[in-house]
Amino acid sequence: MVIREAVENSSERRESGVSALLWHVMRGTSSRLHSKAEQVLRLVMDESILSMHDEVGEGSDTVVKVVTGTLKRSCEVLEPTELNLAWNCLLKEINLSIVNEQLLHLNRLLSILTFVIQFRKGTKICNYVPVFELVKLLVQTYVTPNCSYLEHSPETANKVLGLILCLLNVHVIVNGLIPTSTIVVDWAPVFHIRNSRLLGFIKNILLKDSNVISAFKTEIISALDSLIVSSPAEVLCLLLIFFERDGKSHSFDGFIGESVDKISKTREFFEERLCYWFRVIMDIVEENEIVEIHACDLAVLWGILDVYPHICCRHGRPSSITNLIDALMRLLSIDT
């Protein structure tokens, strides 16, 4: 079979050639798929084909590249309505892989789906409702914090995060987003997972359209608040990104509503760090001690001072800042 040849002797030229051949087989008239196209699509998306590289031990992603190349050619030529057949085949195969617990197969299919959505920013897909339903199922099955798969299938969770980020680049989706949107509620659990990619995921969210940030703001704040102690530098960086993008000096409370519970850990962490630095500086002033200070600790302090007015202006303790300033003034007044 031509796909096996491409796997055994992998090269960009061979992959492109096989994609072109499959597209030629699927193509009917200039604007429609051949009546046998569904059979071809089901074949190339089958687990036995996509896992072919496991048998030969080569071309780890060749088959995925061949399939995405074939779908890319389809997207370039066909109208969105004519492409429904391909999307339906892909979504059906993904759902089957979930039911059959075929994680490796699922990961490959999600790579294909993400590629398809990325192509021309999703304009080739007519109906996103089935995709939303699929993502909801994926989140419930593989991403929800307490799900049994999360610890043993981090790659699948990462694929789901990548798919969500991809969907949030589609204008027709972004333009209709509000905090109470169904997909916002369905996707909220992803912000509570303990995954190494969560901070990177949030950073990508913060770089997207303002509608996206507004829709997911509560989830973003809650996630960052829960991570402030374990990853202070990274969280402070993300908070700075938000306020730089926002360009306003409104308070954090105004951003998340009247409830301050969402940022309780952040506020406590800030107060604890400010008190710590006050003690360090006063020890230098009063005891003339030599203190070793690390650059990373200073960076965290700088981040706290930069973000503090936004999140603690109403519910923080101004004395913490005042005491720190007084201590710094005393330090600067010491004769050297």
User: What residue ranges do the domains of the chain occupy?
Assistant: 1-127, 144-215, 229-336
Which contiguous run of DSSP H or E holds residue 218? helix 217-227
Who has greater pLDDT, 289 or 240?
240
CA count, 13 A, side-chain hemisphere, 117: 24
Q: Is the pLDDT of residue 150 over 70?
A: no
Q: Is the pLDDT of residue 249 over 50?
A: no
Amino acid at 230: S
- pTM for the whole thing? 0.88
Q: Is the pLDDT of residue 315 over 90?
A: no
**Locus of tokens 């896992």:** 51
Phi–psi pair at 242, nearest 5 degrees: -60, -50
Q: What is the pLDDT of residue 260?
A: 58
Q: Please compute the mean of the pLDDT values over residues 108-114 and round it to a whole number.
A: 96
Q: Give the model confidence (pLDDT) of 263-291 as tens digits.
A: 889 999 999 999 999 999 998 888 877 78
Q: What is the pLDDT of residue 13?
A: 87
> Distances in Å between the alpha carbon of 291 and those of 279, 281, 282, 285, 332?
11, 9, 11, 11, 16
Q: Is the pLDDT of residue 4 over 90?
A: no
**Distance, first Cα to last Cα, the chain:** 81
SS3 state of residue 33: strand
Q: What is the pLDDT of residue 128?
A: 94
Q: Is the pLDDT of residue 57 over 60?
A: no
Name residue 27's beta-bridge partners.
33
Q: What is the pLDDT of residue 251?
A: 47
